[in-house]
Amino acid sequence: MSLLEVRNVSKYFGGLKANDNISFNLEKGELVGLIGPNGAGKTTLFNCISGLHPVSSGEIFFDGENITKLKAHEVARRGLARTFQVYAASGDLSVEENVMVGCFMRTRSRAIARARASEILRDLKLQALSHYLVSELPVAAQKKVTMATALGSEPKLLLLDEVAAGLNPNEIEEIMAAIGHVHRDLGITVMLIEHVMELVMKVSQRVIVLDYGKKIADGKPEAIARDPQVIRAYLGERFVREHVREAK
């Protein structure tokens, strides 16, 4: 049984078809990248999976349960957590307090939440920043705090939405290390949206590609990088013709 099953999911906003009959499975323990040009429907799909948007048609199953009609907080309680493109942690709280917010998904005890938050901050090498206000931190650290807060809910599946956006190469390396730790050492299944192709191709075991709301490819990173449909979606028909001509 797959951890996540997306079956023929479509999402419409008026006459706009943001997701068009998308299907895929995500197995427990996988790390899967979700890529595509701007406007391809990636974040909309995450919103549907996590319960923020109701689907227009299709079904979503998580850990064997049909979650298609559940609200976001109900999906989160079942073990699915996510981060957002737009910075979502509270700048009025300390780093530790932000992570505690995620921990309160599983406990009402402040002592337990604080202990769990401290553990997560150590895991992500953020313990030295625990008493800083999040608003005082650089962007890279803020993004790691959003990951830490999501981990506080003890997810089986973590959805990461552009956690490397706006970072420099050194910061991207740090985020890659954090994602690898979450996946490899903590044993959490991960699916990530990302435009930083170096990150996607290095950390992903499999890559799914969307274009104009449709799934156009699904496979190993090395196969995706050579796929003419994917190249066409990113670089255009002319580049595909030249790429094919050079390969002959």
Confidence of residue 13 (pLDDT cuts 50, 70, 90): very high
**18-32, 83-97, 217-231: which has the highest mean pLDDT?**
18-32
| Intervals of CATH 3.40.50.300 along the chain | 1-79+155-221
Higher pLDDT, 156 or 134: 156
pTM for the complete prediction?
Answer: 0.91
Lowest-pLDDT choice from 127-131, 195-199, 218-222? 195-199
What distance in Å separates the CA atoms of residue 43 and residue 214, rounded to the nearest whole number? 13
Q: What pLDDT, on a 0 to 100 scale, did the predictor assign at position 242? A: 58
Mean pLDDT, the chain, integer: 92
Confidence check: pLDDT of 246 > 60 = no
DSSP string, 79-137: TEEE--SS--S-TTSBHHHHHHHHHTTT-S-HHHHHHHHHHHHHHTT-GGGTTSBGGGS
pLDDT in tens, 19-75: 999 999 999 999 999 999 999 999 999 999 999 999 999 999 999 999 999 999 999
Q: How would you label 63-101 residue by residue, b for 16+ Cβ within 10 Å and e otherwise? A: beeebbebeeeebbeebbbbbbeeeebeeebbbbbbbbb
Looking at domain 1-79+155-221, which of 3.40.190.10, 3.30.559.30, 3.40.50.300, 3.20.20.70 is its CATH number?
Answer: 3.40.50.300
